[in-house]
Amino acid sequence: MCVFPDYPGPTPGARSQTECKCKDDTVDQHKMIMDSNKKECDAKISNQAKAFFKLMPKSQNAVLDKQGNKQAVAVDFEYTYPLKLMIPKFASTNNCVWVYFISFGGGLVEGDKLQFSVEIGTECCSVITTQSSTKVFACSGGLLTEQHLVARICPGGLLAFLPDFIVCFEDAAYKQTQVFHMSHDSSLIVLDWCTSGRMANNEIWDFTSFRSSNSIFIDNKLVFKDCMLLDQHKIVPLKEAMHHYNVLATCIIIGKSTEEQCQHLLQVLGKRQALGELINADVSLAISELKYTVEGVKIPGVVIKFATSNTLQAIKQIEEILQHFYNRLGGNPFEGKY
pLDDT band at residue 71 under the 50/70/90 scheme: confident
Taking only the tens place, the pLDDT of each residue in 260-275 is: 999 999 999 988 777 6
What is the C-alpha separation between 299 and 293, in angstroms, rounded?
6
pLDDT at 160: 98
Taking only the tens place, the pLDDT of each residue in 219-261 is: 999 999 999 999 998 788 899 999 999 999 999 999 999 999 9
Residue 44, pLDDT above cutoff 60: no
Residue 338, pLDDT above cutoff 80: no
What is the C-alpha separation between 153 and 122, in angstroms, rounded?
8
Q: Name the burial class of residue 273, with classes exposed (0-12), middle (13-18) and buried (19+) by CB atoms within 10 angstroms of its CB.
A: exposed
pLDDT at 329: 95
Mean pLDDT on 21-48: 46
What is the C-alpha separation between 162 and 260, in angstroms, rounded?
20
Residue 43, pLDDT above cutoff 70: no
pLDDT greater at residue 187 or residue 92: 187
Mean pLDDT on 41-54: 69
Mean pLDDT on 159-174: 97
The answer to whether 72 touches 56, Cβ cutoff 8 Å, is yes
What is the C-alpha separation between 105 and 3, in angstroms, rounded?
25
pLDDT band at residue 74 under the 50/70/90 scheme: confident
Nearest Cα residue to 145 out of 327, 239, 11, 322: 11
Q: Which DSSP helix (H) or strand (E) runs through 42?
A: helix 27-44
pLDDT at 308: 97
Residue 66, pLDDT above cutoff 60: yes
The answer to whether 41 touches 34, Cβ cutoff 8 Å, is no
DSSP per-residue letters across 118-142: EEE-TT-EEEEEESSPEEE----SS
Residues sharing a CB contact under 8 Å with residue 183, sequence separation 6 or more, in sequence order = 153, 154, 155, 218, 219
Taking only the tens place, the pLDDT of each residue in 93-135 is: 999 999 999 887 778 999 999 999 999 999 999 999 999 999 9
- Strand 125-130 versus strand 97-103 pairing type: parallel
pLDDT at 279: 78
pLDDT at 336: 85
Residue 38, pLDDT above cutoff 70: no
pLDDT band at residue 3 under the 50/70/90 scheme: very low
Q: CB neighbours (10 Å) of residue 302? A: 22
pLDDT at 62: 63
Residue 90, pLDDT above cutoff 80: yes
- Please state, rounded to an integer, the average pLDDT across all residues of the chain: 85
